[in-house]
Copies of this chain bind each other. A is one copy, B any other.
């Protein structure tokens, strides 16, 4: 079997002119994996890193040990989960529309990935801190972040807590456990480790959670983060959102020969689990476990959330140029909203009618806030923030040269 050295170039399962094909993705049955002890070691986490924790089966039943693990979750929490996801989807849709109408410069959806941020955030406590990427607005929704602030940021108007400084979607809110987003991929991941170290050193009982996309696991700071978490073992949860795509690049270009991203983390001696990210119950259960583990002082843990980026990368992107148009509908893990809805109906907590009604109520609420926020100005109807915000907060105290420049600007 000797051959000439020849480079390999990882390929996606299908390109635009082909039929979607996820046959090579192995989907283990729901309920197959145990709940490990909180002090799980990397060496004992192989099956969790290579397998997939799933709770909801195709029939909408919650099954297996992880279902038992969150059996005490009260019905309100489940309904809240559904409402969170519906709110997220409504917000995304409304803001996408706003961008299409030229009312904001840029937007980016998390469609299909709502369960991950919504389910995770509800397991955190006040004071815990996420270090998100630009696709985790769902954390804010489930943190009950005021929609006015969220939308204000998108319109860069007076309602924007960041006073127009940042590109839309680059939210920041300390009070709601959402670290200021950076456009530079990966950097936040090692910062999360540092924040968690500060937590441990100050003994404040808080934890931190890093977030990164599958594509960005390739960045250097992914390595920097795993390494430092592995060395100092602070209370940090290292989340990897594997949504199969990084703009136009298939996840295989970031996976390389690794079995899973979770297994790569395991190579650093960090216990790692892989989870059905479209299964709200699996997300809630594993998040609860991970949060408990971190808070109890068992050190870092890595979680690969397996999902699919249903939307375009952003409003600057058209995915039909690089993947089949109908790939999302072929995604074998389904839609997180539909799956939770089915389960809630199954257990008698929900119905089609209530669903339709809830959707309408939520859309109504979101639209009302949006209209109000838009009254403070949009891109087509600007009431811009003062240009002098440019100089505000570059430093705690404005140095002379900035004062001179501000004067030159006319302020």
Contacts and interface: CB of A to CB of B under 8 A. Distances in A.
Contacts of A232: 7-9
Interface stretch (A258-266, A307-315, A366-374, A395-403): A258-266
A269 to B, nearest CB: 2
Contacts of A288: none
Interface stretch (A28-36, A163-171, A195-203, A319-327): A195-203
Interface string A1-32: 11111111110000000000000000000000
A196 to B, nearest CB: 8
A235 to B, nearest CB: 4
B43 A259 contact: yes
Contacts of A42: 257
Given A259-B269, A264-B268, A268-B257, A199 B233 contact: no
Interface string A234-250: 11000000000000000
B253 A199 contact: no
A143 interface: no
Nearest to A268: B258
Contacts of A253: 231
Interface in A201-229: 201, 203, 207, 218, 220-224, 227-229
Contacts of A254: 227, 231
Interface stretch (A54-62, A98-106, A291-299): A291-299
B268 A256 contact: yes
A200 B2 contact: no
Contacts of A199: 5
Contacts of A136: none
Contacts of A157: none
A270 interface: yes
Counted per complex, copies of this chain come to 2
B220 A297 contact: no
B269 A234 contact: no
A144 to B, nearest CB: 26
A222 B223 CA distance: 9
Contact of A258 (B222, B230, B298, B299): B230
A283 to B, nearest CB: 23
A-side interface size class: 35 or more
Given A199-B5, A200-B7, A256 B235 contact: no
A39 interface: yes
Nearest to A8: B233
A38 B5 CA distance: 13
A411 to B, nearest CB: 39
Contacts of A218: 227
B3 A201 contact: no
Contact of A1 (B39, B220, B263, B265): B39
A150 to B, nearest CB: 31
A267 interface: yes
A222, A229, A257, A269: most-surrounded residue (chain B CB, <10 A): A257
Contact of A270 (B8, B257, B296): B257
A215 B258 CA distance: 23
A268 B254 CA distance: 10
24 contacts: A2-B38, A2-B296, A2-B297, A3-B297, A5-B199, A5-B235, A5-B294, A7-B234, A8-B233, A10-B231, A43-B259, A229-B256, A230-B256, A230-B257, A233-B257, A255-B269, A257-B268, A258-B267, A258-B268, A258-B269, A263-B267, A264-B268, A266-B267, A267-B268
List the 4 closest A-B pairs by CB distance, nearest first: A267-B267, A257-B269, A230-B256, A223-B223
Interface of A: 1-10, 38-39, 42-43, 196-197, 199-201, 203, 207, 218, 220-224, 227-235, 253-259, 263-270, 294-299
